[in-house]
Amino acid sequence: MEDCQCGQALQNHTIDLLSRPLKPFSLASSSSEVVLRTEQEFIHQINNTDISTLYSWSNTVHEYFIQQTQLYSQKSALELNEQSLTYSELLYSLYCLTNHLIDNIQSNEIICQCVERSFEMIIGMLAILSSGAVYCPLSPMDPPLPLKTLIQDTSSKTLLIHSFTWQTILMTYTSCNLIKIDSFIIFNYNDTICNIINSFCKVIFTG
C-alpha cells in the first residue's frame, strides 16, 4: 500500500512539472517549484497561526486524560524501560501530586520542573496544569548556573524534581521548595478516580 502511494505521489509530481510552462534556460534548476499545489495549500494551513482561528476543543489536556482513564482504566498508559503504568495508576499518582500542589501554591504561580525523560515528567507536567499553575520546563542537561538563572528569572517558589536530578538542583543553591515526584508514583492501584481539580492551562517556554 505504501509503495502504491509513493508511486502515485511521484506520478503526480511528474505530471504537475510537465504541465507547467517552460522557464528560460537562464534560470537555475533549483529555482523550479517541485511542491504540488495541494501540498502548498496544506503547508499554508499548517503555518496559519492566526489567533482568530476558532478551535472546537472544549476540554483541557488533563480533562481529556481523565476521560481516557474512565474508558481504559486498566490499560497501559505509559511504558518506559520495561515498566508501565495503567491509566488508573497514573491518574492516582497525578491526583496525589495535584492535591499536594494545591495545598502549597497560589493560583497562576510558576512551577519549574527539572526531570529526565520518565514517568515523573508526565505526572509533574499534568499535575502543574491540573493545579492551575504555570508550567516551566527546565533541562537537566544545563549546567547549575544557567538553571539557577532561569529559576530566578521566573521567580518560582516551587521546583519539581526526581531522584536523577536531585544533585543537579542542589548545586544551584536554590531556595525553592523542592518536591520529589518519585514519592507520588503509586503502582498496583486498581480503582478509577473520576474527579480531579479543573483549571486553565498556562504554559511558558525557556530558551
Enumerate the β-bridge partners of residue 1. none
pLDDT number for residue 33: 60
Phi and psi dihedrals of 139, rounded to 5?
A: -85, 125
Per-residue pLDDT tens listing for the chain (207 residues): 556 666 677 777 677 666 666 555 444 444 456 666 777 777 777 776 665 555 555 677 777 888 888 899 899 999 988 889 999 999 989 989 998 998 888 888 999 999 999 999 999 999 998 888 999 999 999 999 999 999 999 999 999 999 899 888 988 888 899 999 988 776 544 443 433 444 444 444 445
Residues 6+ apart with CB under 8 A from 85: 76, 77, 78, 93, 119, 185, 187
119-130 and 87-104 helices, crossing angle to 10°: 50
pLDDT number for residue 203: 44
pLDDT number for residue 188: 47
Q: How far is CA 153 from CA 18, 172, 194, in A?
A: 57, 14, 37
Q: What are the extents of the domains in the chain?
A: 61-203
CATH architecture, range 61-203: 3-Layer(aba) Sandwich (3.40)
pLDDT number for residue 198: 45
